[in-house]
Amino acid sequence: MNKKQMLVGLAVIIAVLAAVSLIFQPFGRSEAVSAAAIDGERAVVAGSAAVQTANDSVSAEGVVTPLRNANLSFMMGGVVAEIVAEEGTAVAPGDPILRLEAADLELAVRQAENGMATAGNNLSLAMAQLELAQARVESAAIGVTVAQAQLDLTKAGPRPEEIAAAEQNVAAAAAGIAQAAGSRDVALTISDAQIREAEAGVASATADLRQVQDGYDAIIDACFTLPDDTEVCPLYGTVEENTRAQLEIAQLQLSAAQEGLDALLAGPTAAQQRAASGGVAVASANRDLAQAQLDLLLAGATAEQIRLAEVGVEQAELGLEQAQTAVTQAEAAVTQANAGVAQAEAGLSAAQSALARMTLTAPFAGTVVTVLVDEGELASSGIPVVVLADTSGWQVETTDLTELDVAAIAVGDSAEVRIDAIDDEVLTGTVMEIAAVSTLTRGDVTYAVTVGLDENALPLRWGMTAFVDVGK
């Protein structure tokens, strides 16, 4: 037989006893006086309601209870997956005691977390797009300013300083023509000094060639014939090779000097003449361009140019409107993304709350007194499955204090308590609480009074019978 079946049987027995008590109550109360027992100045009537003793104190029967206790139940039903804290385990507030199977809810939490991450990414993207749209509005506004300034300049015509600058460009271009013509004349004129210098170069190269040639001839002439008709040339070898190389260089230098003299005597070539004249042509073209720009500036803007500038302003303004519309759309997207984040947060919170409800936790520090289910059993919503009590201290709750006596008691009154199971021990305490609502006990209107016990070393247990004297 498991705990649950035992509790059901116990509940049936209690119900039967209660019914029997109600049936025989009139006769029981009339006979109760015969069982009276006197202990000092305290008169206690066994099985009767509380009485007021001769020394103006109130006596009542009660039971020992922990400082705090609770029957814990799940908000949601399910199969018990784990008993985390067995009976007798001390727990702190928030410690888990039982867990229900929650695979589906764990999956829902993971899905909600993924949805939260997606919503966060969507919000980041929307914020980035809004910043980009705002930057485009600023750029478009600058474009409108520039286009309007260009239109104003076009309508206003040339400024004096612009005309002066254009005139200076024309003058500089004309000076460039004269400079190019001078460079052309210098390039095409061959002076007598250049010819004399070239002739001197030819003469020098001729003399150098003759000197090297004489040296080379001396090397050749140094050869002689032996009696056996063998020709011997003592200077052949390195000396002859070096001298021959020098002779070739001297011949090349003479040829180059002669070609230079011939070129000077022949005058500039057609290519040189074209190159020299090309500089003048370029300078003339620059002067014509500068003059054309000055003439255009003096003529002022045409109707077509003004209209073109106006079109530029219109296009810039249209671009600004489009950029502002994009900002509005981006702001709406951010609002929608924020709503998505809020919805995802709510979904995650709901999923986490549902998952948390599958774990039964301790609402206060205490000891697990009773676990009413086993692993694998079905726990129903709202049905107690755990009894938790704070047994760090004890108190007594009266069970038979009637409305006639409760008026004589006040919170803060001192009390003496005797435990039925422990002889010759008197505990002290203080009235901590008086119930505001009555309870009907065996036909009497009673009020539960809670007496907090002072620190003691007695082996008290939950449910022990106690007798309380509240002094005045």
* pLDDT reported for residue 129: 94
Q: Could you tell me if residue 300 is left (phi over 0), alpha (psi between -120 and 50 degrees) or otherwise beta?
A: left
Q: What is the mean pLDDT of residues 385-401?
A: 95
**Binning pLDDT at 50, 70 and 90, where does residue 138 land?**
very high
* pLDDT reported for residue 372: 95
Inform me whether the pLDDT recorded for 44 exceeds 70: no
Exposure on the CB side of residue 129, measured as CA atoms within 13 A: 18
Distance between CA atoms of residues 263 and 435, nearest Å: 137
Q: What is the mean pLDDT of residues 6-10?
A: 42
pLDDT in tens, 196-235: 888 888 898 898 889 888 888 888 887 777 778 777 777 7
Q: What is the mean pLDDT of residues 348-369?
A: 94
pLDDT in tens, 251-287: 998 898 888 878 777 777 666 667 767 777 888 888 8
Q: What is the mean pLDDT of residues 83-105?
A: 95
Lowest mean pLDDT among 137-146, 176-185, 458-467: 176-185
* pLDDT reported for residue 12: 38
Distance between CA atoms of residues 79 and 81, nearest Å: 6
The winner for highest mean pLDDT among 34-43, 168-177, 266-275 is 168-177
Distance between CA atoms of residues 459 and 449, nearest Å: 22
> Which of the two residues, 422 and 296, has the higher pLDDT score?
422
pLDDT in tens, 435-472: 999 999 888 999 999 999 999 999 999 999 999 999 86
The set of residues, in sequence order, having a beta carbon less than 8 Å from that of 40 and lying 6+ positions away, is none
List the domains of the chain with CATH numbers.
24-76+389-470 (2.40.30.170)
Average model confidence (pLDDT) across the chain = 83
**Binning pLDDT at 50, 70 and 90, where does residue 416 land?**
very high
Lowest mean pLDDT among 23-27, 34-38, 396-400: 34-38
